[in-house]
């Protein structure tokens, strides 16, 4: 070969090599970036070219799809009772992306998950349109309805309900809420609806998942954790042993007396009586006597200071470290820095009901292929053991006294159902200027000793008369209706 031809051949070879390198760079190195590029409409067009799989509750879909009348996208998402289920489903939108289950399980729902590769390949060969799989949840429709409707009557708040023996989430309600269907498309109407839902335009913040993402001061419901710490650290060895609790009691290092609400029998009260009447002095002194380290250790066993993934992320609840005795005393009655999600307080009640064993909370039971074959099944998982079985049963008896003879009477169900609970009224606002939050945590126990449900309710009733706000008055009736819904669904 003469020299000019050889040069041309080498040059052409280099061009081919360059093309191969570039092709491989695009297909393997930059593929994900190009796929996720917002300017790449082909991916979005393909995403909405076929119906999306469904999110299932109790065997029935709470999602669907509808054909669009204009634009590049053939289908958009629809929701049944969208506002009620939004804290579970989240949203998927042609214009605004997705969140919560719609985002976390997007691969299954959109049919693009690698575990559907064989099915998708077979469908491509046979000419069948690609289909999405299903997300089967642990939710109980009747319990969710009871929770949502109960909150709607009060104006603002959240409910979380768990099956103690497994960790299955049975209800997850937040109010006010929003209908994800209104923002599922890409029209001007969807844009206007999206604008109205943003916190800067709507101070009620309807897109906030209060059950998982909002942290509230728990008030006296936290005394259940403090009681558990007292028993686990052998500060007191039973529910009916008198405590060393003077009245009045001045917090260590201060000249400030810790006050109780009203003239209640708190002097040297037993743990049972102290929980029944919600004695600040008793549980404040318990926290102070145990000290910050022991109280923090017990709170962590219940899940405090850690995010939970259900798989939707729940904010970490707060119990601080490095506090002095008086700060620990206030934190031990749910004040000072202590803050918690409703899910976290449902976990506290759940662990007590489950004889001291805390199960990891989860809301996805299984993932299904379009053929309804199970791709992945969630197995219950123990998260921790905050209490021994003996101490859990002692604490159960104390919480049952609260409902039978104390501040939680509005949660009584009757018949062969025993209810244990704890009320709470949590101050908030600068100098306690705003209406307090009303809390109630509880569990129901059947005649065979099993506990099908544990519940946490927080109510933010801005329109209530301040003196009428109490956990027993506002939150306990909602908890009762949720527990009854779960029990009745099992009959």
The pLDDT tens digits along the chain (491 residues) read 577 777 777 777 777 777 777 766 656 666 556 555 656 666 666 677 688 999 999 999 999 998 887 767 778 899 999 999 999 999 999 999 999 999 999 999 998 888 876 666 666 566 666 788 999 999 999 999 999 999 999 889 999 999 999 999 999 999 999 999 999 988 899 999 999 999 999 999 999 999 999 999 999 999 999 999 999 999 999 999 999 999 999 999 999 999 998 899 999 999 999 999 999 999 999 999 999 999 999 999 999 999 999 999 999 999 999 999 999 999 999 999 999 999 999 999 999 999 999 999 999 999 999 888 899 999 999 999 999 999 999 999 999 999 999 999 999 998 899 999 999 987 654 445 466 889 999 999 999 999 999 999 999 865 543 344 466 778 999 999 999 999 999 87
Q: Active site residue: 220, 332, 350, 481, which one?
A: 220
441 forms beta bridges with: 422, 456
C-alpha 337/C-alpha 200 separation (Å) is: 27
What pLDDT score does 429 carry?
47
Q: Do 224 and 422 meet the contact criterion of CB atoms below 8 Å apart?
A: yes
User: Is it true that the peptide bond before 248 is cis, omega within 30 degrees of 0?
Assistant: yes
Q: Do 271 and 282 meet the contact criterion of CB atoms below 8 Å apart?
A: yes
C-alpha 287/C-alpha 299 separation (Å) is: 11
Residues 113-135 as b/e (b if ≥16 CB within 10 A, e otherwise) read: beebeebbeebeeeeeebbbbbb
Strand, coil or helix: what is 174? strand
What pLDDT score does 350 carry?
98
C-alpha 15/C-alpha 429 separation (Å) is: 70
What pLDDT score does 446 carry?
95
Q: Is the CATH number of domain 219-363+382-489 3.40.47.10?
A: no
C-alpha 135/C-alpha 367 separation (Å) is: 5
Annotation says 220 is catalytic: yes
């Amino acid at each position: 070969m003469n020299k000019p031809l050889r040069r041309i051949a080498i040059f052409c070879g280099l061009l081919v090599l360059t093309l191969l390198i570039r092709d491989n760079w695009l297909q393997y190195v930059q593929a994900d970036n190009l796929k996720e590029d917002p300017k790449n409409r082909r991916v979005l067009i393909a995403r909405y070219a076929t119906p999306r799989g469904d999110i299932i509750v109790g065997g029935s879909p709470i999602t669907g799809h509808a054909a669009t009348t204009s634009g590049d996208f053939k289908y958009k998402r629809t929701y049944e009772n969208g506002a009620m289920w939004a804290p579970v489903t989240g949203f998927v939108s042609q214009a605004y992306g997705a969140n919560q289950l719609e985002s976390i399980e997007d691969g299954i729902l959109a049919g693009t998950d690698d575990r559907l590769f064989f099915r998708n390949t077979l469908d491509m060969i046979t000419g069948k349109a690609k289909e999405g799989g299903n997300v089967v949840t642990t939710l109980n429709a009747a319990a969710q309805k009871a929770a949502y409707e109960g909150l709607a009557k009060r104006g603002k708040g959240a409910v979380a309900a768990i099956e103690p023996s497994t960790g299955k989430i049975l209800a997850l309600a937040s109010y006010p809420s929003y209908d994800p269907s209104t923002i599922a498309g890409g029209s001007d109407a969807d844009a206007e609806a999206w604008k109205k839902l943003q916190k800067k335009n709507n101070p009620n913040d309807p897109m906030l998942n209060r059950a998982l993402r909002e942290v509230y001061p728990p008030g006296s419901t936290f005394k259940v954790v403090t009681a558990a710490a007292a028993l686990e650290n052998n500060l007191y060895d039973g529910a009916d042993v008198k405590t060393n609790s003077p009245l009045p009691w001045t917090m260590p290092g201060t000249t400030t007396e810790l006050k109780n609400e009203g003239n209640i029998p708190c002097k040297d009260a037993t743990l049972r009586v102290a929980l029944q009447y919600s004695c600040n002095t008793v549980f404040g002194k318990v926290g102070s006597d145990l000290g910050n380290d022991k109280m923090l250790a017990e709170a962590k066993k219940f899940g405090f200071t850690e995010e939970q993934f259900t798989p939707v992320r729940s904010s970490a609840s707060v119990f601080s470290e490095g506090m002095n005795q008086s700060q620990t005393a206030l934190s031990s009655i749910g004040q000072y820095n202590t803050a918690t999600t409703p899910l976290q307080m449902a976990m506290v009640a759940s662990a007590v009901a489950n004889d001291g064993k805390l199960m990891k909370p989860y809301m996805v039971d299984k993932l299904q292929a379009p053929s309804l074959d199970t791709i992945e099944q969630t197995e219950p998982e123990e998260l921790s053991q905050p209490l021994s079985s003996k101490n859990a049963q002692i604490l159960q008896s104390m919480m049952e006294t609260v409902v039978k003879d104390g501040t939680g009477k509005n949660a009584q169900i009757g018949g062969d159902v025993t209810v244990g609970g704890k009320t709470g009224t949590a101050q908030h606002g600068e100098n306690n200027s705003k209406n307090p939050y009303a809390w109630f945590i509880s569990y129901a126990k059947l005649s065979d000793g099993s506990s099908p449900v544990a519940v946490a309710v927080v109510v933010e009733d801005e329109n209530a008369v301040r003196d009428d706000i109490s956990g027993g008055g506002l939150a306990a009736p909602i908890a009762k209706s949720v527990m009854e819904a779960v029990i009745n669904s099992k009959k």
